[in-house]
Amino acid sequence: MQNFFDFTGKVVLVTGGSSGIGRATAEFFGRCGASVAVSYLKNQAGAEAAVSNIWSNGSGLSANGGGAGVAVGVATECAIAIQADVINTDEIRDMVMEVEGRLGPVDILVNNAGSLVERLKTMELTEERWDEVMNLNARSAFFCAQQIIPKMLEKGSGVIVNVTSIAGRNGGAPGSIHYSSAKAALLTMTKGLAKEYASQGIRVNAVSPGVIDTPYHETFTTPETMQNLRNSIPMGREGRPDEVASVIAFLASDAASYLCGETIEINGGLLMD
């Protein structure tokens, strides 16, 4: 039987991969044999820890499928950490060039970078903060995809998985309209990219996590609110980052070969469609 979670020879780029869902995703792909690039903005320690775990638990060295400057079958690094501000298109370009030079062309892009930054009600929300959150959560995903897609087109294959949020479907908690609007844009962007590139071998899908046990809630959600959220979830608990990572890996695998433009809700039954 085919092992759909064997990503040996694949190069994966995870943005915002230093903690939470991003880190769990990077480490999951590493355990499945992929060569993984973990991008981060400030949390260098988290990114380097993820890379160390991949080296320890993954394949150690990965023989990739070749690419610009990388010969077929040549052992390369199996995981690297790259600092990049994905709001900045120049830094996105440099990040992708470094990944291609050290690991090979990207086969799987996971657009995970994003943050609420801070909770602000409508009358408190400044133009600068609105732009920052929209840029970090939505603009970054588009321009990362734009930078990656040309090499995917050359190969005739590739996968992009965007990490949106239940907030993009239900408007989010009070003080998060900027974040929920950005995540809704990402959901729509997923469909637009999928329609444009499906016929050229590139599949674009998304995951929409609900309440997941990550540093996000440690920062932005009070313990009382967190307990109220748990009480509203049919499964009675928050999700784990690895439970999101496994669905991202499914979408990147051939098991999802006919899924295109889809967003999978991962929320323990909190929101059902």
Report the C-alpha gap between 53 and 27 in whole angstroms.
7
Q: Is 218 left (phi over 0), alpha (psi -120 to 50) or beta?
A: alpha
Determine phi and psi for 198, rounding to 5 degrees: -60, -40
The domain that contains 23 carries what CATH number?
Answer: 3.40.50.720
Over residues 20-46, the mean pLDDT reads: 97
What's the confidence (pLDDT) of residue 253?
98
Q: CB neighbours (10 Å) of residue 187?
A: 17
pLDDT at residue 123 in the model: 97
For residue 57, the model assigns a pLDDT of: 82
59 pLDDT above the threshold of 80: no
* Whole-number pLDDT of residue 64: 45
pLDDT in tens, 121-167: 999 999 999 999 999 999 999 999 999 999 999 999 999 999 999 99
Mean local confidence (pLDDT), 96-103: 97
Upper half-sphere CA count for residue 49 (Cβ side, 13 Å): 10
Q: What is the DSSP letter of 254?
A: G
Catalytic residue among 179, 197, 216, 258: 179
Asked if pLDDT for residue 212 goes beyond 70, the answer is yes
Please indicate, yes or no, if residue 3 is contained in any of the structural domains: no
244 located within any domain: yes
Domain that holds residue 77: 11-266
Comparing CA positions, the residue from 153, 107, 64 lying closest to residue 249 is 107
Whether residue 136 is contained in a domain is answered as: yes
Across the strands, what pairs with 62? 76
Q: What percent of the chain has pLDDT over 70?
A: 93
5 in a structural domain: no
Name the nearest CA neighbour of 26 among 1, 45, 52, 3: 52
Mean pLDDT over 43-71 rounds to 69
Torsion sign (Cα): 97, 5, 189, 239? negative
pLDDT, position 66: 40
Number of domains comprising the chain:
1
Q: Please state whether 33 falls in left (phi above 0), alpha (psi between -120 and 50) or beta.
A: left
Q: Report the candidate in 174, 168, 167 with the shortest Cα–Cα distance to residue 221.
A: 174
At 171, is the secondary structure helix, strand, or coil?
coil
Residue type, 183: K
pTM of the predicted model, to two decimals? Answer: 0.91
Q: Amino acid letter at 167?
A: A
pLDDT of residue 223: 83
Task: State the angle between helix axes of 44-57 and 20-31 in degrees (0 to 180), rounded to the nearest 10.
Answer: 20
Q: Does the active-site annotation cover 197? A: no
For the chain, the average pLDDT equals 91
Residue 63 pLDDT greater than 90, yes or no: no
pLDDT band at 75 (very low <50, low <70, confident <90, very high): very low
For residues 74-87, average pLDDT: 84
Has residue 49 got a pLDDT over 70?
A: yes
Could you tell me if residue 2 is inside a domain?
no
Token duo for residue 176: 């998060």
pLDDT score, position 61:
43
Residue pair 38/14 in contact (Cβ under 8 Å)? The answer is yes
